[in-house]
Chain A
Amino acid sequence: SYVLTQPPSASVAPGQTARISCGGSNIGDKEIHWYQQKAGQAPVLVVYDDTNRPSGIPERFSGSNSGNTATLTINRVEAGDEADYFCQVWDSGSRHVVFGGGTKLTVL
C-alpha cells in the first residue's frame, strides 16, 4: 500500500522557519493533510487539502504539495509549536487512510 515518509526529527530556533517534508510516490496527485500532536494530547488538524487552514489555526502554518514531496511550513516558530507533526492522505486504490511516521519538531 501507499507509503508516506517523514524525517523523524527537525529543530528550529524561535522566530525562524520550520519546513517539514512528507514524501510519497506522486504525492502531488493526492490531497495531503497535516496534524499537530503536542505531548499527551490528541492530534489537531492544522492544514488540509494541501494548503488550507482550519479556523483557529494561525496563518504562520502553510502547506504545499508537488511532485513527490509535500511540505508543511511554519513561519516565525514559537515555543508552543514544539510537537509531533503527521502527514496523511487517502489511498483510493487500497481504500486506506495513510499516515506518515511523524516528525518531532524541537524548538531550540
Chain B
Amino acid sequence: EVQLVESGGGLVQPGGNRRLACEVSGFTFGSYWMYWVRQAPGQGLVWVSRISRDGNIADYADSVRGRFTMSRDNAKNTLYLQMGSLRVEDTAVYYCARARNVVTTILSHWGQGTLVTVTS
C-alpha cells in the first residue's frame, strides 16, 4: 500500500524557517517525481514545487521560488521542503504527493498534510 506521511508543521514566526518532511512507503521512491501542494485555510489547492526522480531538477511556483527548496533522499525514502523567509500568507496545510507514473504530472497519491502556521 502506498503511504505518504508528512511531518514538520507547526507555528513559526514571520521571517523564520521550517523544514517539512514526507516519508513514503509501499513503492520504489526513486522511480517517481514528487510534489508539494499547499492549501490555505478555506482556500483551494496551490502547487508549490516538484522534484525529479534523482533530485537534480526542481520546479517552483513563483510565490516560493528563492525562499523554498525541495529535495529528496532516495535512500531514506524521504522528501523534504525547506521553507525560508516565511510569510503570513504561507500559512497552509502542506501536502506531499506522488506522480501517477514515471513521466506524468498526475498526482495519484497524497499524504494527509501537515499544517504550517506563520504568525507573530
Contact = CB atoms under 8 A, between A and B. Distances in A.
A45 B35 contact: no
Interface string A73-105: 000000000001010101000011111111000
Given A90-B105, A97-B105, A42 B110 contact: yes
A34 to B, nearest CB: 10
* Interface bin, chain B: 20 to 34
B100 A99 contact: no
B47 A96 contact: yes
A88 B107 contact: yes
B44 A33 contact: no
A43 interface: yes
Contact of B59 (A35, A84, A95, A99): A95
A96 B61 contact: yes
A43 B110 contact: yes
A84 B42 CA distance: 11
Interface in A30-75: 33, 35, 37, 41-45, 48-49, 54
Contacts of B1: none
